[in-house]
Amino acid sequence: MKRREFVARSCAGLATLSPLSRVALASSVAPWLLVPMDDAQADHLKAYGLTFRLLERGGRAEWFLNYRNGSFLLPADAATARDAALAGVTTEPLDDGRLVQIRGQLQEGNMDAVPLEKAPKVAVYAPPNAAPWDDAVTMALNYAGIKFDKIWDEEVVGETLKTYDWLHLHHEDFTGQFSKFFLSYAGAPWLVDMVERNREVARSLGFPSVPAEKKAVASAIAAYVERGGFLFAMCTATETLDLALAADGVDIAASYADGSPMDPDASSRMRWDRALAFHKAQLELSPTMPVYSDIDGHRVNSPDRRQPLGSFTLFNFSAKIDPVAAMLVQNHRQVIPDFYGLTTSFTRDTLKPSVIILAEEPGTPWVKYLHGERGQGTWTFFGGHDPEDPQHQIGDSATDLSLHPHSPGYRLILNNVLFPAAKKKELKT
């Protein structure tokens, strides 16, 4: 048989193999898999789950910061190759020679390789009856195939929270005002259930009221970060967590029973040194205004709501000097459409000087995405509710992430999930 005929027949045979067989064959001759995160990737979100599950199995990976929009290097073992094929994640086999070339590129440019060593144990703060489609992070974790546990107030004020590496908060109101939903949804069955469930938990834990209990929960979360925990919060949780922390000895919860306002001197007596991200904010004192403070630049539920929505731009960071910030902004898009939440954005004037701004809407007085340190741990705040549902309303249908596998907003969420897996080294941020 002539050589050309042999090659032609061999190629024809390869074409008849199943996708799993082709992946297995490719991985048998190349020791590495590159998971590209640029536009070559078939499913950006599931790529994070592929990497996470490898770490869960005890494997090691690397995150190539700023190389093809934050690609991953994985070993080409049979389990990983099969997982990638089943998840529909694009991978490219690499031999040692090609990997050496890539490492040379990483050294020369604004890029770096960050080892990923251990899958973090993930917790999502949510009441037991929370709908899984009402939290963007829960949807992202489920779609990507990343395991997590739900925890709530009993676990946070107890000892259970200490067992987790990464904690997510979403639209919880830590001021104890039930997101001021009484103003629009009084009598709604879901609100009645929310109020009674919170009051019962407060009573069972020995607190005189829901605001008092939520302040204790907020303090426990801050202590978790101090000890080295990784906190990621979105929507209302970002603003109300800091308000609850700063309200040391200050009553910031209006009474809906008699329509009484909050303490008129509350803003001046807030302890901003206790807060994570914000200071010098002015509280909204009226019980008839569903706004917490001037932290949220968009004031989504007030008469002076900022419209229309714009776009926010991710900052570029040095992968070698600021690897933490660089990890948190890895993306295939730098400009991302904005989306509302009960807290949509963060007014620049209320940010502490130490806060790292990760994304902003240029030319506006607000920013979108923040990061900072507290003690041995870190926190990251991301404004808005659902990156693929800009005008999200209560009762809206769930976002189908299979229709948004390339969502740059959801990528920012999943960057935060993998960030704790990075090998610890002295960081500049």
CA-CA distance, 44 to 329, in Å (whole number)?
14
Residue range of the domain that includes 86: 3-116
Residues 245 and 308 in one domain: yes
Output the pLDDT for position 16: 46
Residues 106 and 136 in one domain: no
| pLDDT tens digits for range 319-350 | 999 999 999 999 999 999 999 998 999 999 99
Output the pLDDT for position 392: 65
CA-CA distance, 320 to 65, in Å (whole number)?
9
Residues 341 and 266 in one domain: yes
Q: Is 258 helix (H, G, I), strand (E, B) or coil?
A: coil
Q: Are 56 and 147 in contact (CB under 8 A)?
A: yes
- Look up the pTM and report it: 0.90
Cα 240 to Cα 169, 273, 275, 351: the distances in Å are 11, 15, 10, 14
Q: Are 153 and 213 in contact (CB under 8 A)?
A: yes
Residue 415's domain is classified under what CATH number? Answer: 3.40.50.880
Residues 131 and 88 in one domain: no
Is residue 193, in this structure, part of any structural domain at all?
yes
Residues 172 and 278 in one domain: yes
Residues 139 and 21 in one domain: no
From the CA atom positions of the chain, what is the Rg in Å?
Answer: 24
Residues 218 and 75 in one domain: no
Output the pLDDT for position 429: 45
The backbone region for 353, taken as left when phi is positive above 0, alpha when psi lies in -120 to 50, beta otherwise, is: alpha
Residues of the chain with pLDDT under 70: 1-28, 131-133, 255-259, 303, 305-307, 392-396, 424-429
Is residue 112, in this structure, part of any structural domain at all?
yes
Residues 297 and 364 in one domain: yes
Output the pLDDT for position 267: 92
Residues 87 and 174 in one domain: no
Last residue of a domain, one of 56, 87, 116: 116
CA-CA distance, 160 to 155, in Å (whole number)?
5
Domain count for the chain, please give it: 2
Residues 95 and 152 in one domain: no
Adjacent-strand bridge partners of 337: 311
Output the pLDDT for position 29: 72
Output the pLDDT for position 286: 76
